[in-house]
Amino acid sequence: MRKTCLNIDSLRTTLRWSIVFPILAAVVLFAVKTGRAQDAETARPFGLVIHGGAGSISKDRITPEREAAYQAKLQEAIEAGYAILEGGGSSFDAVETTINIMEDSPLFNAGKGAVFSNDGTNEMDASIMDGRTLNAGAVASIKHIKNPISLARLVLENSPHVMLVGAGAEEFGAEHGIEKVSNYYFFTDRRWKSLQRTIAKQDSLNKAASEAGTPAKAASTEKGTVGCAALDKQGNLAAGTSTGGLTNKRWGRVGDSPIIGAGTYANNATCAVSGTGQGEYFMRLLVAHDIHARMFYQNKALADAAKEVIHGELTKLGGAGGIISIDKNGNIAMTFNTAGMFRGYRTNSQPVTVQMYGEE
Amino acid sequence: MRKTCLNIDSLRTTLRWSIVFPILAAVVLFAVKTGRAQDAETARPFGLVIHGGAGSISKDRITPEREAAYQAKLQEAIEAGYAILEGGGSSFDAVETTINIMEDSPLFNAGKGAVFSNDGTNEMDASIMDGRTLNAGAVASIKHIKNPISLARLVLENSPHVMLVGAGAEEFGAEHGIEKVSNYYFFTDRRWKSLQRTIAKQDSLNKAASEAGTPAKAASTEKGTVGCAALDKQGNLAAGTSTGGLTNKRWGRVGDSPIIGAGTYANNATCAVSGTGQGEYFMRLLVAHDIHARMFYQNKALADAAKEVIHGELTKLGGAGGIISIDKNGNIAMTFNTAGMFRGYRTNSQPVTVQMYGEE
């Protein structure tokens, strides 16, 4: 019977496949594995870097409790932004979320922790820039918006403008349903006492200057700001900055934080930058745009461009402050000429890191 | 007698000198003249260039009377600034004086001729920069200052700040005795009618957009601004810009005119620039600072740098406008991608020239 016959041809085929199949399977598995490894190596880098202000930040001026609070809040902000990037979200979203967390904390001079102006109110500035489109949004001298960076984003996305200031900017926000709060929301005992101290100091400076017949110096040396620069998996860069400005400020003073090219800049061709420090110097030097320009026109590495601008130009002109930046390849720079800067970062290749003092 | 004797030696000496002296004199005169000519050639160049706004300026849209009025006012402004430079004055003074003349004329969208905001008031912006020190002053959203550029200069010279906005900026001006005027000073029938036309146009755009469920476009295409860039005999550059902004503007919109690096920039190392056009694009591109950067980092000539930024970057991004600029060697650029730009210049080597249309 055919059924019981030993079919030599069939046996030969079976034997052939029992040898060929494992080899074939091994080859396929190897190819897949190698491909995955190559994917990991060539995967686009991503990550973000933040700051919470530069200035006379040193270990002997901060209590251990306060240091721990800064450490925890900076890390929380970094992790929240990083989670967005890791999940494939945009650098633009990561920047806004990260800054919102710092704005909502009384620790930093932005949003909830904003310093007081001379008239006892809080006047805030913010800006955000999208490195893919070069679109930008900025607001200045606003008093009743809980999260200024989100209003800046609204300006970018829902108006044909880049910059809105004062009550008009708040009116625009109201038309788009952004959260308004009483100016009292921004009251913190710490900042109020700081205003009283600065006013007293300014009075004595004014008196001395008046007696000597010279112009009075400014008493405030407050340099607080928060900022974030991020690179997402799509290779898009974004940067944002938010601030309460100077303690005891007058005359509707606006610093570099809401000025595109001075305190904030992002361009997919090079890097994303956020600055903090004596805003007037950052405005005169176009610090953020100058770092881009040195990379773009001179092929400088981010670290070198940042060093030249902060330790070169800014220091030469007599200004104090720093920047955080991430470039299109995921390289991080945190460069400052002050004693310290609240800062930190996380990238796909580097774990979360938070620093405060001069261990640059 | 010795007296009557023909003294051959004496005669020979006289003859010799009668030949040698004219030759010697000719040589000395020639040397002096050549020296003077060389002095003139090696004298430091100086001069200035101005604009009165870019846009749809064409011969068929302007009456001969109006053309003559623009011609005369632009020339008056140029000559006033040039006289300061020729007399050894600073480029900084020349820029302020030149812009004051255009601010005081109802022909231009700055000072007296400022356009109306949506609420029927006039909100003006201005900035000025000193290329020697990189000092800068800027004001935005001011309503009662006759000459905004002079308030910007006051900010530079009498405050530690770069930018003041709104009522605070006016308060600062009042403390320093700057001329305040009623907002009614800025009323001109022409601009008022323009506001009414723009409001009507915006209403119909809003209605159409609402019916189509799309965002409404902005009706205003006003791009007026005035600006000046100057080089003095000491080799110092300065630039300034003053504007009434957009007709029917809302929400405290601020354009590029008061933004250092966007609408105004000066640096003795390269050039002085003032821009005019769709401010939002100038802010995103940092037009004025980018022209400087291309000269500084790439050794580009002013004309090439200006062309790359205006006809390259600005046009690519979809923006319209132009710049005027003078470099440290006295070279002039007047570059725009609009139909026309009110403009003119005078230098120590070129006579006064005024242009309006597209004969770039």
Mean pLDDT lowest for which of A343-357, B51-65, B146-160, B227-241? Answer: B51-65
Asked, for residue A113, whether it belongs to a domain, the answer is yes
Mean pLDDT lowest for which of A158-172, A301-315, B9-23, B47-61? Answer: B9-23
Mean pLDDT lowest for which of A209-223, B149-163, B267-281? Answer: A209-223
Cβ separation of B251 and A279 shorter than 8 Å? no
Mean pLDDT in residue range A86-99 = 98
Say yes or no: A134 contacts chain B, CB-CB below 8 A.
yes
- Tell me how far apart the alpha carbons of residues A37 and B204 are, in angstroms, rounded to a whole number: 59
Nearby residues of A189 by Cβ (< 8 Å), 6 or more positions away: none
Residue A213 CA neighbour count, 13 Å, CB half: 0
Q: How many domains does chain B have?
A: 2
Nearby residues of B241 by Cβ (< 8 Å), 6 or more positions away: B99, B126, B127, B128, B149, B225, B226, B227, B257, B258, B263, B264, B274, B275, B276
Q: A263-285 pLDDT, tens per residue?
A: 999 999 999 999 999 999 999 99
Residue B334 tokens read as: 């007047």
pLDDT band at A2 (very low <50, low <70, confident <90, very high): very low
Statement: residue A356 has pLDDT above 90: yes
Look at residue A347 and give its three-state secondary structure: strand
- Tell me how far apart the alpha carbons of residues B7 and B9 are, in angstroms, rounded to a whole number: 6
Say yes or no: A250 contacts chain B, CB-CB below 8 A.
yes
Backbone angles phi and psi of A354, in degrees to 5: -125, 135
Q: Are B269 and B326 in contact (CB under 8 A)?
A: no
Nearest residue on chain B to A166, alpha-carbon basis: B252
Determine what percent of chain B is predicted with pLDDT higher than 90: 67
Q: B107-116 pLDDT, tens per residue?
A: 999 999 888 8
Same domain, A126 and A148: yes
Q: Give buried/exposed letters for A242-276 (b at 16+ CB in 10 A, else e).
A: bbbbbbbbbbbbbbbbbbbbbbbbbbbebbbbbbb
Cβ separation of A252 and B164 shorter than 8 Å? yes
User: What's the confidence (pLDDT) of residue A247?
Assistant: 82
Q: Which of residues 281-340 of A touch B (CB under 8 A)?
A: 283-286, 289-290, 293-294, 297-298, 317
Same domain, A15 and A94: no
Nearest residue on chain A to B170, alpha-carbon basis: A251
- Tell me how far apart the alpha carbons of residues B311 and B263 are, in angstroms, rounded to a whole number: 16
Same domain, A122 and A72: yes
- Tell me how far apart the alpha carbons of residues B192 and A353 are, in angstroms, rounded to a whole number: 58
User: What's the confidence (pLDDT) of residue B333?
Assistant: 98
Selected residue with higher pLDDT from A220 and A169: A169
With tokens 């016959």, the residue in question is A5
pLDDT band at B257 (very low <50, low <70, confident <90, very high): very high
Q: Are A266 and A272 in contact (CB under 8 A)?
A: yes
Same domain, B69 and B128: yes
Closest to A102 in 3D by CA, of A219, A248, A274:
A274
Asked, for residue A320, whether it belongs to a domain, the answer is yes
Asked, for residue B207, whether it belongs to a domain, the answer is no
Mean pLDDT in residue range A122-137 = 96
Q: B287-296 pLDDT, tens per residue?
A: 999 999 999 9
Q: B26-59 pLDDT, tens per residue?
A: 665 665 555 454 444 457 999 999 999 998 888 8
User: What's the confidence (pLDDT) of residue A55?
Assistant: 85
Q: Are A283 and B136 in contact (CB under 8 A)?
A: yes
Mean pLDDT in residue range B296-309 = 98
Statement: residue A19 has pLDDT above 70: no
Asked, for residue A70, whether it belongs to a domain, the answer is yes
Selected residue with higher pLDDT from B63 and A126: A126
Domain boundary among A12, A28, A43: A43
Mean pLDDT in residue range A146-150 = 97
User: What's the confidence (pLDDT) of residue B192?
Assistant: 85
pLDDT band at A65 (very low <50, low <70, confident <90, very high): very high
Distance from CA of A44 to the nearest CA of B (A): 26
Q: Are A309 and A294 in contact (CB under 8 A)?
A: yes
- Tell me how far apart the alpha carbons of residues A36 and A40 are, in angstroms, rounded to a whole number: 6
CATH label of the domain that carries residue A112: 3.60.20.30
Asked, for residue A68, whether it belongs to a domain, the answer is yes
Pairing label, strands A124-130, A237-243: antiparallel
Same domain, A57 and A25: no
The mean pLDDT value of chain B amounts to 89
User: What's the confidence (pLDDT) of residue B32?
Assistant: 54
Same domain, A39 and A61: no
Asked, for residue A208, whether it belongs to a domain, the answer is no
Mean pLDDT in residue range A314-334 = 97
User: What's the confidence (pLDDT) of residue B291?
Assistant: 98
User: What's the confidence (pLDDT) of residue A27?
Assistant: 60
User: What's the confidence (pLDDT) of residue A38?
Assistant: 46
Same domain, B10 and B140: no
Mean pLDDT lowest for which of A184-198, A334-348, B62-76, B154-168? Answer: A184-198
Residue A304 CA to its chain's centroid (Å): 19
Mean pLDDT in residue range B167-193 = 90
Closest to B287 in 3D by CA, of A289, A239, A133:
A289
User: What's the confidence (pLDDT) of residue B42?
Assistant: 57
Same domain, A16 and A69: no
Nearby residues of A123 by Cβ (< 8 Å), 6 or more positions away: A114, A117, A141, A142, A143, A244, A245, A249, A252
User: What's the confidence (pLDDT) of residue A41?
Assistant: 45
Same domain, A93 and A78: yes
Asked, for residue A165, whether it belongs to a domain, the answer is yes
- Alpha helices by DSSP H, listed for chain B, are 8-42, 64-86, 91-103, 148-158, 166-175, 189-212, 279-285, 287-298, 302-307, 315-317
Look at residue A163 and give its three-state secondary structure: strand
Same domain, A36 and A54: no
* Domain range enclosing A70: 45-187+219-357
**DSSP 8-state symbol, B60:** G
User: What's the confidence (pLDDT) of residue A90?
Assistant: 98
Residue B202 tokens read as: 């915006």
Statement: residue A93 has pLDDT above 70: yes
User: What's the confidence (pLDDT) of residue B38?
Assistant: 47
Say yes or no: A70 contacts chain B, CB-CB below 8 A.
no
Same domain, B266 and B341: yes
User: What's the confidence (pLDDT) of residue B77?
Assistant: 98
- Tell me how far apart the alpha carbons of residues A153 and A96 are, in angstroms, rounded to a whole number: 8
Mean pLDDT in residue range B248-262 = 94
Residue B237 CA neighbour count, 13 Å, CB half: 25
Statement: residue A159 has pLDDT above 80: yes
Q: Are B218 and B251 in contact (CB under 8 A)?
A: no
Statement: residue B215 has pLDDT above 90: no
User: What's the confidence (pLDDT) of residue B14?
Assistant: 61
Statement: residue A57 has pLDDT above 70: yes
Q: What is the torsion angle, in degrees rounded to the nearest 10, for the CA atoms of residue A309, residue A345, residue A137 and residue B166?
A: -70
- Tell me how far apart the alpha carbons of residues B297 and A65 are, in angstroms, rounded to a whole number: 47
The mean pLDDT value of chain A amounts to 89
- Tell me how far apart the alpha carbons of residues B289 and B325 are, in angstroms, rounded to a whole number: 12
Q: Are A181 and A170 in contact (CB under 8 A)?
A: no
Mean pLDDT in residue range B309-335 = 97
DSSP characters over B184-232: GGG--HHHHHHHHHHHHHHHHHHHHHHHHTSPPPP-------EEEEEE-
Statement: residue A344 has pLDDT above 90: yes
Statement: residue B12 has pLDDT above 70: no
Distances (CA, A) of A169 to A96, A140, A161, A310, B75: 18, 8, 11, 32, 39
Same domain, A33 and A65: no
Statement: residue A3 has pLDDT above 50: no
Asked, for residue A146, whether it belongs to a domain, the answer is yes
User: What's the confidence (pLDDT) of residue A20?
Assistant: 65
User: What's the confidence (pLDDT) of residue B10?
Assistant: 62
Cβ separation of A260 and B289 shorter than 8 Å? no
User: What's the confidence (pLDDT) of residue A91?
Assistant: 98
Q: Which of B136, B218, B286 sits opposite A160 (nearest CB)?
A: B218
Look at residue B93 and give its three-state secondary structure: helix
Distance from CA of A124 to the nearest CA of B (A): 13
Q: Are B194 and B222 in contact (CB under 8 A)?
A: yes
